[in-house]
Amino acid sequence: SQTIHQWPATLVQPVGSPLSLECTVEGTSNPNLYWYRQAAGRGLQLLFYSVGIGQISSEVPQNLSASRPQDRQFILSSKKLLLSDSGFYLCAWSRPTGIAEAFFGQGTRLTVV
Amino acid sequence: TQLLEQSPQFLSIQEGENLTVYCNSSSVFSSLQWYRQEPGEGPVLLVTVVTGGEVKKLKRLTFQFGDARKDSSLHITAAQPGDTGLYLCAGERHSGYALNFGKGTSLLVTP
């Protein structure tokens, strides 16, 4: 069966510090991978998605970047965090073909102080 | 621009009541999913609908996809406190494109 791991679960970082959130998927090959951000119990904003190693599409220009160094690894980064980067970050995967049903990790609650 | 509009945004009902939440768009989707999310956790997939007019039932939950594949509804019969959560719809416009999510309906069912 497929599983997705996302860490850390919570993170408190000072303004201007770097960020690295990691997500890995097990039990599937060549998944589509996604990073979403969610504001206070509301809808999901797509930040990045990837259909393969090294292939990253950015949906919203911002202070963040994403990388996919391995087939089942997706990393969200920032060189200098802003207060506005606070939020709930979710990683998800979907099958490379067929219906794009998303399966989510547990999320990371990021607070920038 | 929000591709998918969900209504109502918030809903507070008592145990045993019925409710319907809606997901509407001006765009056509090849598939549409409903997810439920509890606080501090990731959304969990409930159902996927792909055919216009399709109706799917999951215990007390009934999902319908509009004939034109632009909208969907979720009906809950005899709601229970365990149904409390954020209900999100998401649509796939074209194969290979990322899902677009609505802002969700926050449901509270009180005993």
List, for residues A17-34, the tens digit of each pLDDT value.
Answer: 999 999 999 999 999 999
Q: Which residues of B touch A97 (CB under 8 A)?
A: 95
Task: Mark yes or no for CB contact B88/A36 under 8 Å.
Answer: no
Residue by residue, pLDDT tens for chain B (111 residues) are: 568 999 999 999 999 999 999 999 999 999 999 999 998 899 999 999 999 999 999 999 999 999 999 999 999 999 999 999 999 999 987 765 678 899 999 999 999
pLDDT tier for residue A98 given thresholds of 50, 70 and 90: confident
Contacts of B48 in chain A (CB under 8 A): 99, 101
Residues of B in contact with A94 (CB under 8 A): 99
Instruction: Count Cβ neighbours within 10 Å for each residue of B20-59 and write b for 16 or more, e otherwise.
Output: ebbbebeeebebbbbbbbeeeebbeebbbbeeeebeeeee
**pLDDT at residue A59 in the model:** 80
In the numeric block, which tokens belong to residue B35?
Answer: 């997810």
Burial of A69 from C-beta contacts in 10 A (0-12 / 13-18 / 19+): exposed
Confidence of residue A97 (pLDDT cuts 50, 70, 90): confident
Nearest to B98 among A42, A46, A107 (CB): A46
Three-state DSSP at B16 gives coil
The DSSP secondary structure of chain A, one letter per residue, reads --EEEEE-SEEEE-TT--EEEEEEEES-SS-EEEEEEE-TT-PEEEEEEEEETTEEEESS-SS-EEEEEETTEEEEEESS--GGG-EEEEEEEE-SSSS---EE---EEEEE-
Phi, psi of A84 (to 5 degrees): -70, -5
Residue A93, pLDDT score: 95
Read off the pLDDT of residues A40-86 as tens digits, 9 standing for 90 and up: 767 888 899 999 999 998 887 678 999 999 999 999 999 999 999 99
